[in-house]
Amino acid sequence: MEIPYTFTARPDTGLYNGKLGIWLFLASEVMLFGALFTSYLFMRLGADPGTWPTHIQSIPLGFTNTCILLFSSITMVYAWVALKERKFNQFRVWLVITILCGFVFLYIKGTEYYSKYIHYGVLIKAEDFDKYSGEFKKADVMVNEIPTQGVFEIRGHWENKTDKNATYYSIIPDKNFHPIGYQPPPGETAPSGDEEQTFKIDKADVERFGNLLPNYGTYYAIYFTVTGLHAMHIIGGCVVMLYFLILGSKLYRRNPEQFANRIEVTGIFWHFVDLVWITVFPILYLT
Amino acid sequence: MDDLPPSAEVSAAPTHVPPAQGHGEGHGDGHGGHDDHGHEHHELGFIRTYLFSTDHKTIGIQYLIAGLILLFFGFCLMLLMRWQLAFPGQALTWANAHNHIMYQVKEVCYHLGLCRMPTTPLPVPPDPNDPPLLQIIFGDAQMPGGIMTPDFYNTLGAMHGTIMVFFGIVPVAFAAFGNFVMPLQIGTVDMAFPRLNLGSIVLFAISAILMLGSFFVPGGAAKSGWTSYTPLASISDQPQMVVPYVLSIFHVIPLWLTFMPSGAAPGNGLHLPGLQVAADGLHLFRLHVASWHAGHSFQWPMWLTGQSVWIIAMAFNITSSLLSSVNFITTIVQLRAKGLNWMRLPFFVWTQFMTAFLLLLAFPPLEAAALMQLMDRLAGSSLFSPTGLVVNGTPLINGGGGSPLLWQHLFWFLGHPEVYVLILPGLGIIAEVVANNARKPLWGYNQMVYGLFALGFLSMVVWAHHMYLTGMGTAISAYFQLVTIIISVPTILILSSLIISLWGGSIRFTSPMLWATAFLPLFGIGGLTGIPLAFNAPDTFLHDSYYIIAHFHYVIAPGTIFALFAGVHYWYPKATGRMMSEFWNKVHFWPTMILMNCVFFPMFLQGMAGMHRRMYDGGATYEILNQNVLHWNVFISEAAWLMGLAQIPFIINFCFSWKYGRKVSDNPWEATTLEWSAPSPPPHGNFLKPIVVYRGPYEYSVPGDSTDYTPQDQPPSHGPIPISGPFPAEERAIGIPHLH
Ligand code: HEM
Ligand SMILES: [Cu+2]
C-alpha cells in the first residue's frame, strides 16, 4: 500500500506531504517560541526597577553564533542542491559542514552558559550596605539598587568557594555589570573584565547569594529557557542530519528524489531554528 | 475552492473498467472493481497488527478504547469526590455506603406509604484493624480510615479535569474518530504519515501511564486544579531543585566543558573549569545517594512529585496531539479523493480540520508554559511566582519578579481553544447523524463551514474571559467581553443549522439519532448559559461558582459525550461489520439522559445562590449562606452514582456486539458519505476500487432518484447532471433546503 503524494507534488496544492507537514509543524513551533518571546516581553515590561539586567551578554560571542547559523543555513541549501543535481559526495561535504556549524554553535553556547555558572551575584541588605558602600565607591565597583526588594546587588567571581567554614564571601567584582539604563561615558566603551581587588562581604549581611542560573532571577530563568529550548532544537537538527549522513547512501540509492525531499524538509527546519536565533539575538543580547 | 463542473469529472473518471467485484452493496455500478491496494497480504505478527500497527483504523480503535476507559476512570474520580460533597467528612466504607443506600430505599418506601420515616444514618467509625479498600488503594496519607483528606479531594478534582479533557475527550473525539473515520470519508488509503501516527499514539500511551502513575508517587498526584494555577502549582508537593542532578547525570557536558578555554576565570596555569562543574554536581549527587544509604531504603527523588509528573505527562500529551494535528491537516489537504473538492467534504471532516488547527496553534503556548513551570519547580526559578511570596508564613526566597498572571494568560490561550477542540468533533458527528437520519441534506452547509472558520479564528482571541476577576483592567475586560459575545454567533449559527436540518425530515430514531436529538437542546442549554458569563458584571458574581461547573458540563457532558455515544453507535457497524443492540442502547440512553440533567441542572441553582466550586465540604462550612441549596448535594451525588451504573448497559453492549451483534451490510444506515463505500470492516488500504467523487456529501431524498440516498461516489446515471430543473445540481450538493 502506498500513500499518495509522498514524494511527488499533488497538482492542485503543489506540495508533497512532507513539505506541508513540516510547514505545519513549524507553524506550531512559531507559537511555541512566540509564547516564550511574549512571556519575555510581559516580564520585562513588568519587572521591578533594578531587576532586569541589560547588556550583560557577550555581543561578540552572540554575533559569532549568529553568523555561524546563517552560514550553516547556506551550506544546508547547497547540500540539497547537490542532491538535486545527484552529486552525492558533494552533498556529504556540505552536510558535514552544516553539522559542524551546529557543533560549534553549541560549543560557544556552552562557554556562555559556563560563564553564567562561575559568576555570582550578591544581594546585600540595604540596612547593612553602608558598611560596604564607601569601599565600593573608592574602587568604582558597579552597584545596582533594587528598591522593591530592599537590596543592593554586586556581581563577580567567588574566591573562597572551597572554604566551607568562612563567615564571609570574598568577591572579585565584575566591571561589565551594567545596571538597567546604564550608558557608558561619552566617547568610551563600557568597561569589561574584573576588578583587581577582592572584597569581603559578611554572610550575615547578605540577603541572597548565588550564581547566575535560572533561580537567580527572572531574566536568567527566561534566558535559559529560551536559549536552552533553542539549543535542544539545534541538537535535534544535528541528530537528524547525522542520521542522514550515516544512512544517507542507502536511502539515496533506494530513491534519490525522496531522499532529496527529506533533506529539503530538514533544511526548512534548520532555517527555522536559524530564524529563532535571529530573534533571540536582538532581544537577549542587543538590548 | 476548485469547483469543477460535474461533467469535467465524469470524463476524468478512470477509463479502465476492471471486472466488478460485487462486495457488499451500495457500490457504484460500472466503476466497481479491485485495485491492488486492498489485496496486498503482508503477514504481520500480532504485535504489528494490534499493538504497534500503523493502520489508521487500528490506531483509531486503540484511541477509542483507551479514551473510553480513561473517561470512565475520570468519571469514577468524580464519583469519589461526590461522596465527600454529599457527606462531608464521613468515611467512605462499605458500612457507610450500605447505610445510605438502605436509608434511601426506606425513604422511597415511606413516600409510598409502606413504612415510617427512617432516621438519618449515623456515620460508622472506621475500624483501624480493617482498613477500607480505598485506604489500601490510595494510601494512608490520602484516605486515612476512608476519610478523604482535603489534599486528596484537590487531587481528585485536578485529575478528574485533566483526565477527562486531555486523556478522555480529546483522544476519543479527535484522535479516535478522526483517525478511523476521516481518511475513509475523504476516500484515501491511510493517513499521510502512518508512522508518525504510530508515534503519536505511543506518546499518548506514555503520557497516560505517567499521569495515572502519578497517583502513587509520594504526596500523590497533582492537586492544583486542571488549570494548574501558579504560584500554587509551582510550589506544591515540595519541588526540589534538580539542577545539581542534571549537572551530575549529564556528566558528559561537564567533561566537555573541561576542554574549554578558561576565559575570564582567574587562577593560574592549568585550569579545568569543566571539572569544577562536574565536581559540584557529583558532590550533591553523592550527598543524595548517601542519604538513601543512611535510611537503608530507596528514596523517591523529590523533584519527581505529583505536579512535576503532571507537567511532564502533559508535555508528552501535547506533543502527541501536535503530531496528530500535523498528520490530520496534511491528510485532509493532500489525500482527498479525486473529485472531492473542498465544498464536498462531509462536515465531520471540516470539524476535524478546524480542530487540528486549533490544537496545532493553541497547544504550543501551553507547552511553553509547562516548560516554564517545570523551570520554576526544578530549576528554582520564579517565572510565575511574584516577589515577596510568603508560603505558610515564611517568605519564599526566590529570584522574584515573576508573574502569576502570565501563567493564566498562557494557560487560557490554550484553554479556550481547547473547549472548542472538545466540542467541534462532537458537532461534526451530530451533523453526520442528523443528515443521515433526517434523510435530508444539512441545512446551510456553506454557512456552517464558514461559521466553523469564524469560530476557529475567534476562539484564539477570547481567552481572558476566564480571567475577569484577576484585575487585568477594565479596558482589557471590555475587549474580551465583546469578542466573547461575538463568538457565540457562529456557535449558535451551527447549532441552529443542525436544528433546522430536522425540519420537514422523516426522522428515523435509530440509536445514534437518539443521542443526537438529546444533544441539540442540551448543548443549547450549555451554550446559552455561557452568554451571561461573557459579561463582566454577571461574571463577577458567577465566576468560580457551581454555575460555571454546570455551564461547561452541559456543553461537554450532554454535549460532546452524547455526540461520542452517537458516533460510537453510528460507526460501530463500519468498524466491526456488526450492529450494536438498539434495545440496550435505550436502556443506556434514557437513564443517562435523565440523570445527566439531575446532576447538572441543580448546579445552576447552587451556583446562582453563590456556592463556590472548589469547596472541600461542598459549602457546608458556609451553611448560613448556602442553606437553601445545600441539600442538592446529596441529590446530585446520588444521581451521579446512578449514572455510573447506567453506563453498564453500554459497556456490555459495546463488548458483546463485537462478537455477537447482528451482522449488517456495508452501508446499513443507507448513508451517502464515502466511508460507507468501503467494506465493513475496511481492509488494510480501505477501498476495493479507486474512489471518484461526483457530488456533495448529503444527497438525501434527491427527487427522481430510485433510492432516498445517493452516495458521493455514485456516478451520474444519465451523463452529466442537467444544470436546469427544479433542483439545480450545484444547490443540491451544498444543501439548500427543500422545505415544504
Ligand atoms: C456559546 C458560547 C460560550 C460562551 C459565551 C462561553 C463563555 C464562558 C465564560 C465567560 C467562561 C468563564 C467563566 C468564569 O470562569 O467565570 C466559561 C467557562 C467555561 N466554558 Fe464556556 N462559553 C461558551 C461555550 C462553551 C463551549 C462550547 C464549551 C466546551 C465545549 C465551553 C467550556 C467551558 C469550560 C470548560 C469553562 C470553564 C473552565 C474552568 O474554569 O475550569 N464553553 N465559558
Ligand atoms: Cu472560554
Backbone angles phi, psi at A125, to 5 degrees: -60, 140
A286 touches chain B (CB under 8 A): no
CB B347 within 8 A of CB B563: no
Measured CA to CA, the distance from residue B404 to residue A231 in angstroms comes to 27
So where are chain A's domains? 17-115+218-285, 117-212
A215 CA: distance to closest CA in chain B (Å): 4
Is the pLDDT at B266 greater than 60? The verdict is no
CB B423 within 8 A of CB B322: no
pLDDT range class, residue B480, cuts 50, 70, 90 = very high
Cβ of B538: how many Cβ atoms within 10 Å?
A: 15
Question: Which of the two residues, A156 and B38, has the higher pLDDT score?
Answer: A156
Of B257, B333, B367, the CB nearest to A20: B333
pLDDT in tens, B41-87: 556 677 777 778 899 999 999 999 999 999 999 999 999 999 999 99
Is the pLDDT at B720 greater than 70? The verdict is no
Q: Is the N-terminal amide bond of B239 cis, ω within 30° of 0?
A: no
Cβ of A110: how many Cβ atoms within 10 Å?
A: 16
Grid coordinates representing B518 are 438529546
Residues of A with Cβ-Cβ distance to B263 under 8 angstroms = 111, 115
Bridge partners of A206, per DSSP, are: A124
Residues 6+ apart with CB under 8 A from B526: B551, B552, B553, B554, B555, B556, B558, B559
Is the pLDDT at A73 greater than 60? The verdict is yes
- A166-196 burial: b if 16+ Cβ within 10 Å, else e: eeebbbbbbbbbbbeeeeeeeeeeeeeebbe
Measured CA to CA, the distance from residue A259 to residue A250 in angstroms comes to 10
Grid coordinates representing B304 are 519527581
Backbone angles phi, psi at B573, to 5 degrees: -60, -30
Helices (H) and strands (E) in chain A, counts: 6, 6
pLDDT range class, residue B280, cuts 50, 70, 90 = low
pLDDT number for residue B33: 37
Question: Could you please report the per-residue DSSP string of B106-170?
Answer: HHHHHHTTSSPPPPPPPPPPP-TTS--HHHHHH-TTTSGGGPPPHHHHHHHHHHHHHIIIIIIII
Backbone angles phi, psi at A172, to 5 degrees: -105, 105
B682 CA: distance to closest CA in chain A (Å): 14
Nearest in space to B498 (alpha carbons), one of B466, B518, B465, B520: B520
In the reported structure, the alpha carbon of residue B462 is separated from the centroid of ligand 2 by a whole-number distance in angstroms of: 7
A218 touches chain B (CB under 8 A): yes
- SS3 per-residue string spanning B499-564: HHHCCCCCCCCCHHHHHHHHHHHHHHHHHHHHHHHHCHHHHHHHCCEHHHHHHHHHHHHHHHHHHH
pLDDT number for residue B9: 37
Is the pLDDT at B514 greater than 90? The verdict is yes
pLDDT number for residue A192: 61
CB B589 within 8 A of CB B518: yes
- Chain A and chain B share a number of CB contacts under 8 A equal to 187
The count of residues in chain A is 287
pLDDT in tens, B99-122: 999 998 898 899 898 888 888 888
Is the pLDDT at B303 greater than 80? The verdict is no
pLDDT range class, residue B20, cuts 50, 70, 90 = very low
Backbone angles phi, psi at A127, to 5 degrees: -70, -25
Measured CA to CA, the distance from residue B480 to residue B534 in angstroms comes to 8
Cβ of B211: how many Cβ atoms within 10 Å?
A: 24
CB B11 within 8 A of CB B662: no
pLDDT number for residue A275: 96
Residues 6+ apart with CB under 8 A from B120: B103
Please tell me whether residue A148 adopts helix, strand or coil conformation.
helix
Is the pLDDT at B270 greater than 80? The verdict is no
Percent of the residues in chain B that have a pLDDT greater than 90, as a whole number = 60
Provide the angle, in degrees to the nearest 10, between the axes of the packed helices A88-117 and B273-295: 70
C-alpha torsion B715→B717→B720→B725, nearest 10: -120
CB A150 within 8 A of CB A171: no
Nearest ligand, measured from the Cα of B417: 2
Q: Is the N-terminal amide bond of B231 cis, ω within 30° of 0?
A: yes
pLDDT, mean of residues B321-345: 94
Of A1, A52, A193, the CB nearest to B190: A1
pLDDT in tens, B522-563: 999 999 999 999 999 999 999 999 999 999 999 999 999 999
pLDDT in tens, B208-241: 999 999 998 888 889 999 999 988 888 887 766 6
Taking chain A, what is the end-to-end CA distance rounded to the nearest angstrom?
55
Best B35, B253, B325, B333 residue to mutate vs chain A (most A CBs within 10 Å): B333
pLDDT in tens, A104-157: 999 898 888 888 888 889 999 999 888 888 888 888 788 888 888 888 988 888
Atom of ligand 1 nearest to the CA of B161: 41
Residues of A with Cβ-Cβ distance to B190 under 8 angstroms = 1, 3
C-alpha torsion B710→B714→B718→B724, nearest 10: 50
CB B713 within 8 A of CB B336: no
A214 touches chain B (CB under 8 A): yes
pLDDT number for residue B119: 84
Residues of B with Cβ-Cβ distance to A17 under 8 angstroms = 192-193, 330, 334-335
Nearest ligand, measured from the Cα of B465: 1
The DSSP symbol for A181 reads T
B195 CA: distance to closest CA in chain A (Å): 12
| Residue indicated by cell numbers 445514534 | B512
pLDDT range class, residue B739, cuts 50, 70, 90 = very low
C-alpha torsion B186→B188→B189→B195, nearest 10: -70
Question: Which of the two residues, B240 and B128, has the higher pLDDT score?
Answer: B128
Which of the residue ranges B311-320, B324-333, B395-404 would you say has the lowest mean pLDDT?
B395-404
Nearest in space to B310 (alpha carbons), one of B412, B210, B172: B210
pLDDT, mean of residues B717-721: 57
Q: Could you give the C-alpha distances from B255 to A104, A162, B247, B277, B469, in angstroms and in order?
A: 16, 20, 10, 9, 51
Is the pLDDT at B724 greater than 50? The verdict is no
pLDDT number for residue B535: 94
Identity at A153, one-letter amino acid code? E
Measured CA to CA, the distance from residue B335 to residue B332 in angstroms comes to 6
Nearest ligand, measured from the Cα of B412: 2
pLDDT range class, residue A5, cuts 50, 70, 90 = very high
The answer to whether the CB atoms of A218 and B383 lie below 8 A apart is yes
- SS3 per-residue string spanning A69-110: HHHHHHHHHHHHHHHHCCCHHHHHHHHHHHHHHHHHHHHHHH
Is the pLDDT at B248 greater than 50? The verdict is no
Report angle CA B209, B375, B382 to the nearest 5 degrees: 135
Question: Strand B390-391 relative to strand B394-395: parallel, antiparallel, unpaired?
Answer: antiparallel
Residues with CB under 6 A from ligand 1: B 227, 419, 422-423, 465-466, 484, 488, 491, 527, 530-531, 533-534, 539, 543, 548, 551-552, 555-556
Percent of the residues in chain A that have a pLDDT greater than 70, as a whole number = 93
Backbone angles phi, psi at B612, to 5 degrees: -80, 145
Question: Could you please report the per-residue DSSP string of A213-281?
Answer: STTT-HHHHHHHHHHHHHHHHHHHHHHHHHHHHHHHHHHHHH-HHHHHHHHHHHHHHHHHHHHHHHHHI
pLDDT range class, residue A179, cuts 50, 70, 90 = low
Nearest in space to B491 (alpha carbons), one of B456, B515, B518: B456
CB B656 within 8 A of CB B128: no
CB A222 within 8 A of CB B383: yes
pLDDT number for residue B586: 96
Residues 6+ apart with CB under 8 A from B653: B580, B581, B584, B585, B588
Nearest in space to A276 (alpha carbons), one of A226, A219, A238: A226
B207 phi-psi bin (left φ>0, alpha ψ -120 to 50, beta other):
alpha
The answer to whether the CB atoms of A214 and B375 lie below 8 A apart is yes
CB B345 within 8 A of CB B3: no
Q: What is the model's pTM?
A: 0.88
Taking chain B, what is the end-to-end CA distance rounded to the nearest angstrom?
31
Supply the residue whose CA is at minimum distance from atom 29 of ligand 1.
Answer: B419
Which chain A residue is nearest to residue B275, measuring alpha carbons? A114
B569: exposed, middle or buried (Cβ count in 10 Å: 0-12, 13-18, 19+): buried
Q: How far is C-alpha B553 from the geometric centre of its chain's CA atoms? A: 13
pLDDT range class, residue B297, cuts 50, 70, 90 = low
pLDDT in tens, B689-704: 889 999 999 999 988 8
- A89-108 burial: b if 16+ Cβ within 10 Å, else e: eebbebbebbbebbebbbeb
- The ipTM is 0.92
Which of the residue ranges A179-193, A229-243, B122-136, B593-607 would you say has the lowest mean pLDDT?
A179-193
The DSSP symbol for B685 reads T
The answer to whether the CB atoms of A35 and B401 lie below 8 A apart is no
Q: How far is C-alpha B91 from the geometric centre of its chain's CA atoms? A: 32
pLDDT in tens, A15-46: 999 999 999 999 999 999 999 999 999 999 88
Tell me yes or no: is domain A17-115+218-285 CATH 1.20.120.80. yes
